[in-house]
């Protein structure tokens, strides 16, 4: 009995020790387990985690309030909680996942899994409201038989990544988490602002789609910005372009221009990966370039905006000749001050121009005794 207790303790240490990751307070970690109301409660890390108390959202195929007597093929969690238990604002919806079974794993999340209604088609999980940034997506997908592995794609906008597969040979159901065994990993995926992420579990080797859980780890917060680079010129030829800032927020390959008053015909093409420019390849070295050569990279797409500043204002005063007035100015419509000393009108229309920065934004004319 004592030796068995020691054996279990060694396995838990092997599983748990490498898993805790330190994240900045602004970076999301979302955990979701898929199963039934009868599933055990999962806490703590899986392949990744922040602490032994990590919270896991539960998506159950059981209709809420039915005590497991009624099943649903589709459903949602409108606001996923983060690993620390705080709201994320991220909504999750699931389609075609009415079946449920178990694979005898010792982990409560991995133990249960869902499969499609009628054992046909794909399971689709849609995530909306993810803040713009870079993410790792870990998708746990394996049924009970060895051949009941997962085959998973990730869609972001018009781009499809994968498919990636979990193991279909013996040895997958142990206590050592490994990408390509119990789960698949989509690494450093960029999510543009307002874009949904769609995880699709497709039939694997057995012909059945399965899904146990997902972890969504934000690795970087992306503030859209232009990439920066410089040219390396040798004997008038552009031989290399070096990136000094990969930028962020790109959803399409940007235009790259090589600028020099003397150089001609140099061409380059940017390499886009996960919303960043990871390299710029020289397609044509051109000729005649100098050390003054500059590289201009198109910025990431954004909504158009403008700012307007009024430097001067023309004020037309319609007054009565012979009466005394004072022209006053305010910056906030609460406090008023004289623009000039009081005056007696000698004309009915008096037109004056003032510097807004010096005088203010709002004007009024007031008759005084």
Question: How do the pLDDT tens digits run along the chain, 369 residues long?
Answer: 333 333 332 233 333 344 445 444 578 999 999 999 888 899 999 999 999 999 999 999 999 888 888 999 999 999 999 999 999 999 999 999 999 999 999 999 999 999 998 899 999 999 999 988 889 999 999 999 999 999 999 999 888 999 999 999 999 998 899 999 999 999 988 888 788 999 999 999 999 999 999 999 998 877 788 999 999 999 999 999 999 988 888 888 999 999 999 999 999 999 998 788 999 999 999 999 999 999 999 988 766 666 666 778 888 988 888 899 999 888 778 888 888 889 998 888 889 888 877 666 788 999 988
* 312, containing H or E segment: strand 312-318
Is residue 303 situated within a structural domain?
A: no
pLDDT in tens, 133-143: 889 999 999 99
Q: Where among 258, 274, 297 does a domain terminate? A: 297
Is residue 275 situated within a structural domain?
A: yes
Q: Which two tokens stand for residue 44?
A: 């703590």
Residue 77: which domain range? 2-221
Is residue 306 situated within a structural domain?
A: no
Is residue 307 situated within a structural domain?
A: no
Same domain, 136 and 198: yes
pLDDT in tens, 26-55: 789 999 999 998 888 999 999 999 999 999
Same domain, 355 and 291: no
Q: Pick from 352, 325, 229, 346: which is nearest to 281 by CA?
A: 229
CA 152 from centre of chain: 20
312 burial (CB, 10 Å; 0-12 / 13-18 / 19+) is: exposed
Is residue 305 situated within a structural domain?
A: no
Same domain, 139 and 112: yes
Same domain, 281 and 347: no
Same domain, 53 and 136: yes
Same domain, 232 and 248: yes
Q: pTM value?
A: 0.65
Distances (CA, A) of 182 to 52, 185, 186, 311: 20, 10, 14, 65
Q: Where among 186, 221, 256 does a domain terminate? A: 221
Complete DSSP assignment for 262-280: S-B--EEEEEEETTEEEEE
**Dihedrals φ, ψ of 19, to 5°?**
-90, -20
Q: Could you give the number of structural domains in the chain?
A: 3
Q: pLDDT at position 145, please?
A: 95
Residues of 50-72 as b/e, b for ≥16 C-beta within 10 angstroms?
A: beeebbbbbbbbbeeeeeeeebe
Same domain, 190 and 47: yes
Is residue 304 situated within a structural domain?
A: no
Q: What is the largest CA-CA distance in the chain?
A: 112
**Dihedrals φ, ψ of 46, to 5°?**
-120, -120
Same domain, 22 and 153: yes
Same domain, 63 and 178: yes
CATH assignment at residue 42 = 2.60.120.430
Is residue 127 situated within a structural domain?
A: yes
Q: Where among 190, 221, 252 does a domain terminate? A: 221
Same domain, 293 and 328: no
Same domain, 8 and 143: yes
Is residue 164 situated within a structural domain?
A: yes
Same domain, 123 and 191: yes
């Amino acid at each position: 009995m004592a030796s068995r207790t020691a054996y279990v303790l060694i396995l838990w240490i092997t599983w748990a020790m490498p898993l805790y990751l330190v994240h900045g307070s602004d970076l999301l970690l979302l955990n979701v387990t898929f199963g039934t109301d009868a599933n055990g409660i999962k806490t703590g890390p899986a392949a990744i985690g922040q602490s032994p108390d990590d919270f896991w959202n539960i998506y159950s195929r059981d209709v809420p309030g039915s005590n497991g007597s009624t099943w649903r093929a589709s459903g949602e969690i409108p606001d996923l909680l983060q690993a620390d238990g705080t709201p994320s604002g991220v909504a999750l919806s699931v389609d075609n996942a009415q079946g449920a079974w178990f694979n005898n794993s010792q982990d409560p999340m991995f133990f249960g899994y869902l499969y499609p209604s009628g054992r046909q088609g794909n399971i689709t999980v849609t995530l909306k409201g993810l803040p713009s940034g870079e993410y790792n997506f870990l998708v746990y997908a394996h049924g009970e038989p060895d051949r009941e592995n997962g085959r998973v794609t990730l869609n972001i906008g018009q781009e499809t990544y994968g498919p990636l597969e979990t193991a279909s040979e013996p040895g997958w159901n142990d206590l050592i988490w490994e990408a390509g065994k119990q789960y698949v990993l989509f690494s450093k995926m960029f999510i543009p602002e307002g874009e949904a992420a769609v995880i699709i579990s497709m039939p694997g080797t057995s012909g059945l789609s399965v899904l146990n859980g997902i972890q969504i780890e934000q690795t970087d917060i992306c503030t859209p910005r232009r990439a920066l680079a410089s040219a390396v010129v040798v004997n008038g030829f552009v031989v290399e372009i070096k990136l000094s800032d990969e930028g962020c927020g790109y959803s399409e390959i940007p235009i790259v221009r090589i600028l020099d008053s003397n150089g001609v015909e140099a061409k380059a093409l940017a390499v886009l990966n996960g919303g960043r420019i990871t390299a710029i390849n020289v397609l044509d070295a051109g000729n005649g370039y100098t050390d003054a050569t500059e590289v201009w990279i198109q910025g990431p797409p954004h909504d158009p905006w403008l700012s307007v500043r009024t430097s001067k204002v023309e004020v037309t005063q319609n007054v009565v000749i012979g009466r005394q007035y004072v022209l006053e100015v305010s910056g906030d419509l609460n406090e008023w001050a004289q623009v000039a000393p009081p005056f007696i009108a000698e004309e009915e229309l008096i037109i004056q121009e003032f510097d807004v920065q010096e005088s203010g934004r709002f004007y009024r004319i007031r008759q005084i005794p």
